[in-house]
Amino acid sequence: MATELKKGPSIEVNTIAADWDYGAVYTAAKNPRIIALTFIPGDAADKIVVKDGSDTGPVIFKASCVLATDEKVKYFHGEQKRPYVDFDLCTLSAGHKFLIDLKAK
């Protein structure tokens, strides 16, 4: 289970311990306009794999960290995507954060 915190047009997802699907949590907006996806690791060697829509969708964001202080960002400039974290492909330590910056309406 993950914890989601909505902060204005941004969402912070942390404590990811299983697959996480934006569309399952935020059903009103299945394909939001994404400004950027950001991964902040909890420890060195953390990695995240985010796909579009489901575990069979194309990879839209993949980040591997060497240091616990690494922060990885990918910009989408308002493209419509539905982030899906494929937990089986991730290595996540306590304290990690996955940030979704949405285009304001």
Would the pLDDT of 34 be above 80? yes
In the chain, what are the domains?
3-102 (2.60.120)
pLDDT-based confidence at residue 1 (cuts at 50, 70, 90): low
The answer to whether 22 touches 100, Cβ cutoff 8 Å, is: yes
Interval 40-55 mean pLDDT = 96
Q: Which of 32, 21, 51, 38 is nearest to 97 (CA)?
A: 38
Q: What is the pLDDT of residues 64-100, one digit of tens each?
A: 999 999 999 999 999 999 999 999 999 999 999 999 9
Q: Based on C-alpha coordinates, what's the Rg of the chain? A: 12
Identity of the amino acid at 15: T
From the CB of residue 97, how many other CB atoms can be counted at a distance below 10 Å?
Answer: 18
Buried-exposed string 13-43: b where 16+ CB fall within 10 A, e elsewhere? bbebeebbbbbeebeeeeebbbbebbbbbbe
Q: Name the pTM for this structure.
A: 0.93
